[in-house]
C-alpha cells in the first residue's frame, strides 16, 4: 500500500523500539506483544517516544518545541538558503544540496531510512514508486508539516513516525539505504546513533551524511562560534573523526567532501 498516511499496512512494518517485538494495532495505539509497551498513533503518525523530551537531560532534546515552531519555515527562503550561505558560502545552494544527497544515495530502490527527517526535506524528494522512505524525527511539528507537504505534492511513498535514533522502531537489516542530513551533530552520542542506523541497514547499503565541520570557511572557522556550538551540546566533526566513527560502527568506503563548514560523506554498511 503506497499512500502518505500510515495505514494499517504501513504500521505493520514497525516493531517495538524497546525490544523489537511485534506490534498489534489496538484502536489508536500500537501494543508490543512481548514487553507490553504501548505507543500512540496520532494523526496516523506512530509515536514511539514515551518520555517527555522537554524534561530530558539532553539540552538538544529539551529544545524540541523550538523545532516544532521551525517546521513552517524549514523549507522556505528563511532557513536552508540562509544556513547554507552562512556555513557553506557560495559553494552549496539548496538545490545543489538536494542533488548531492540524491547522488550519495544513488540508484538504490527499495526501503530508505531518513533519520531526523524534519518535514521529509530529502526523503520526499527521493521517494519514487520503487523507493519507499521511512522518516523518523522527534518533532511533531516537523512530522505533521512533512505529512502535509507529501499530501499536497502527491508524494506516495513517504511515511513518518516519531522516534529517536538511539532506539529505531525497525528490524535488523531491512533498509537498502539511509539518509542522515543535518542531524548527526545534534545527537548526544553520534557513535551510538551510527551503530543503530547500521543495525537497520543491509550489507552494502549506502548512508548519506551531511553534518558540520570546522572548515577553513563558513561560520565554524571562528573559534568562539565553534566553542559555543559545542557548549550547547552540538558536535563538530573533522573528516578523520567522522570516518573513524563510521569505521568503528561497521561502515566502509567513506568518500568525504567539505563545503566551508559543512561535511558531506557517502559511506556504506560493511
- In degrees to the nearest 10, what's the CA dihedral of 83, 60, 11, 72? -40
Residues 13, 204, 94, 237, CA torsion sign: positive
The string of DSSP letters for 30-72 reads EEETTT--EEEEETTEEB---S-GGG-SSTTGGGHHHHHHHTT
Residue 74 has pLDDT above 90, yes or no: yes
| Digit-coded pLDDT (tens) for 149-179 | 999 999 989 999 999 999 999 999 999 999 9
pLDDT value at position 2?
A: 36
pLDDT value at position 95?
A: 95
pLDDT class for 83, splitting at 50, 70, 90? Answer: very high
pLDDT value at position 84?
A: 96
Give the phi and the psi of residue 147 in degrees, each rounded to 5. Answer: -65, -40
Residue 6 has pLDDT above 70, yes or no: no
| Digit-coded pLDDT (tens) for 177-191 | 999 999 999 999 999
Q: Which residues pair with 175 in a beta bridge?
A: 201
All structural domains of the chain, each given as residue ranges with its CATH number in brackets, are 46-269 (3.40.50.150)
Residue 3 has pLDDT above 80, yes or no: no
Q: Taking the model in full, what pTM does it have? A: 0.94
Q: Which residue has the higher pLDDT, 59 or 81?
A: 81
| Digit-coded pLDDT (tens) for 140-150 | 999 999 999 99
The answer to whether residues 137 and 143 touch, using CB atoms and an 8 Å cutoff, is: yes
Amino acid at each position: 500500500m503506497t499512500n502518505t498516511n500510515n495505514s494499517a499496512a504501513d504500521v505493520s512494518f514497525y516493531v517495538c523500539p524497546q525490544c523489537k517485538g511485534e506490534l498489534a494495532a489496538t484502536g489508536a495505539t500500537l501494543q508490543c506483544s512481548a514487553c507490553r509497551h504501548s505507543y500512540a498513533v496520532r494523526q496516523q503518525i506512530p509515536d514511539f517516544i514515551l518520555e517527555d523530551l522537554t524534561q530530558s537531560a539532553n539540552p538538544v532534546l529539551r529544545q524540541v518545541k523550538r523545532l516544532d515552531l521551525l517546521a513552517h519555515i524549514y523549507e522556505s527562503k528563511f532557513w536552508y538558503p540562509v544556513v547554507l550561505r552562512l556555513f557553506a558560502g557560495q559553494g552549496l545552494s539548496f538545490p545543489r544540496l538536494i542533488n548531492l544527497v540524491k547522488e550519495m544515495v544513488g540508484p538504490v530502490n527499495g526501503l530508505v531510512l531518513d533519520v531526523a527527517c524534519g518535514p521529509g526535506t530529502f526523503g520526499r524528494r527521493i521517494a519514487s514508486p520503487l523507493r519507499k522512505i521511512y522518516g523518523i524525527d522527534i518533532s511533531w511539528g516537523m512530522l505533521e508539516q512533512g505529512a502535509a507537504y507529501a499530501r499536497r505534492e502527491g508524494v506516495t511513498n513517504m511515511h513518518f513516525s516519531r522516534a529517536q535514533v538511539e532506539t529505531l522502531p525497525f528490524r535488523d537489516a531491512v533498509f537498502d539505504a539511509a539518509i542522515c542530513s543535518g542531524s548527526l551533530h545534534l545527537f548526544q552520542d553520534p557513535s551510538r546513533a551510527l551503530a543503530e542506523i547500521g543495525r537497520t541497514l543491509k550489507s552494502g547499503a549506502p548512508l548519506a551524511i551531511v553534518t558540520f565541520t570546522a572548515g577553513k570557511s563558513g561560520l565554524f572557522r571562528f573559534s568562539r562560534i565553534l566553542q559555543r556550538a559545542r557548549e550547547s551540546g552540538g558536535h563538530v566533526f573533522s573528516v578523520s573523526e567522522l570516518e573513524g566513527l563510521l569505521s568503528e560502527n561497521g561502515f566502509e568506503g567513506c568518500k568525504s567532501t567539505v563545503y566551508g563548514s559543512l561535511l558531506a560523506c557517502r559511506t556504506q554498511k560493511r
